């Protein structure tokens, strides 16, 4: 397997795992350089470089440029030239310049292309509403993870990852991710407890107000530390659109998730006076 093939395989692996990365591709070289056009490397969010695009002077500039691209989400081209030829930070054609102290004196042009990790939507349960949420989320570009008892996995297809029951220890959710509970009577309390303890920015549950009250009271009686986390819970989940069918409820839930993640936690107070009521 060639070095480039290994790099491409790593890209596929990182995409499947939902990780951010930056691809560096050599576009052009002049004079003596150790890498040639077409060579690729992958730079992870911690600055680790996988692949080969040149020696230390080149890789240092690539790391710095790649991390900047990952930060701002924009692609960029950089040109690495001998330090005695670099008089300004930007070349006459607008390309960002980096100095090289390499004795070979070569010039390398590299295109940096960042890929931000897709937001993750965790769906707890395989109910008809959960099944209807999944394709909507996939259509919006979410990485979808389904958590449910193994025997129910076949009820919902198309997820990127399936978890047994609600063991979320290996799933890292951030403030840009979402979790929705649509268990509909199957391990509701276990799912709610797991989601409350997750790092998801949006935490919702498809339920009635009566069920929310009963479940949260039970959890607080067992663990008073959950009280603050329960305040973050959207339950009943979804905006008020008069939804009745599972597909309609799924639409209201996904809309709320998008609005929350895009507009902030106070959007419901400012834009809607009611939430969907689901028994």
Task: Write out pLDDT tens, residues 106-130.
Answer: 889 999 999 888 889 999 999 999 9
pLDDT band, residue 87 (cuts 50/70/90): confident
138-163: pLDDT as tens digits: 999 899 999 999 999 999 999 999 99
More confident residue, 47 or 57: 47
Q: Verify that 25 and 87 share a domain, yes or no.
A: yes
- 96: which residues sit within 8 A by CB, 6+ positions away? 65, 76, 77, 78, 79, 89, 90
Per-residue pLDDT at 135 exceeds 90: yes
pLDDT band, residue 63 (cuts 50/70/90): very high
Decide: residue 113, CB within 10 A, 0-12 exposed, 13-18 middle, 19+ buried.
middle
233-243: pLDDT as tens digits: 999 999 989 99
Are the C-beta atoms of residues 39 and 25 closer than 8 Å to each other?
Answer: yes
Q: Verify that 101 and 146 share a domain, yes or no.
A: no
Q: Verify that 75 and 132 share a domain, yes or no.
A: no
Residue range(s) defining the domain that contains residue 165 = 120-271
Query: How high is the pLDDT of residue 69?
Result: 93
Per-residue pLDDT at 53 exceeds 90: no
Q: Is residue 235 part of a domain?
A: yes
Q: Verify that 104 and 223 share a domain, yes or no.
A: no
Are the C-beta atoms of residues 20 and 104 closer than 8 Å to each other?
Answer: no
Q: Is residue 152 part of a domain?
A: yes
Q: Write the CATH number for 251.
A: 3.40.50.720
Q: Verify that 82 and 188 share a domain, yes or no.
A: no
More confident residue, 13 or 28: 28
More confident residue, 269 or 102: 102
Q: Verify that 145 and 204 share a domain, yes or no.
A: yes
Q: Is residue 86 part of a domain?
A: yes
Domain end residue (candidates: 58, 83, 115)? 115
Please report how many Cα atoms fall inside a 13 Å half-sphere around the Cα of residue 6, on the Cβ side: 9
- CA–CA separation, 160 vs 146, rounded Å? 8
């Amino acid at each position: 397997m060639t070095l480039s093939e290994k790099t491409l395989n790593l890209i596929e692996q990182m995409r499947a795992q939902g990780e951010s990365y930056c691809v560096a591709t050599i576009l052009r070289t002049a004079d003596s350089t150790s890498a040639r056009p077409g060579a690729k490397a992958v730079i992870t969010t911690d600055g680790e470089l996988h692949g080969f695009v040149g020696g230390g002077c080149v890789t240092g500039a690539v790391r710095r440029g790649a991390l900047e691209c990952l930060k701002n989400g924009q692609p960029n081209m950089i040109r690495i030239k001998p330090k005695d030829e670099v008089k300004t930070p930007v070349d006459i054609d607008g390309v960002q310049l980096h100095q090289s102290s390499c004795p070979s004196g070569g010039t390398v042009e590299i295109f940096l292309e960042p890929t931000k990790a897709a937001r993750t939507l965790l769906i707890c349960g395989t109910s008809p509403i959960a099944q209807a949420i999944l394709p909507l989320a996939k259509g919006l570009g979410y990485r979808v993870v389904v958590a449910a008892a193994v025997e129910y996995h076949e009820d919902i297809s198309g997820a990127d990852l399936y978890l047994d029951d609600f063991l979320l220890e290996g799933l890292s959710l951030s403030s840009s991710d979402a979790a929705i509970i649509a268990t509909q009577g199957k391990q509701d309390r276990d799912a709610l407890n797991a989601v409350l303890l997750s790092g998801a920015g949006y935490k919702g549950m498809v339920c009635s107000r009566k069920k929310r009250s009963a479940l949260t009271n039970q959890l607080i009686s067992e663990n008073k530390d959950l009280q603050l986390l329960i305040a973050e819970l959207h339950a009943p989940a979804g905006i008020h659109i008069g939804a009745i069918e599972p597909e309609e409820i799924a639409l209201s839930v996904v809309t709320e998730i998008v609005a929350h993640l895009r507009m902030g936690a106070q959007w419901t107070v400012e834009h809607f006076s009611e939430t969907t009521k689901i028994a």
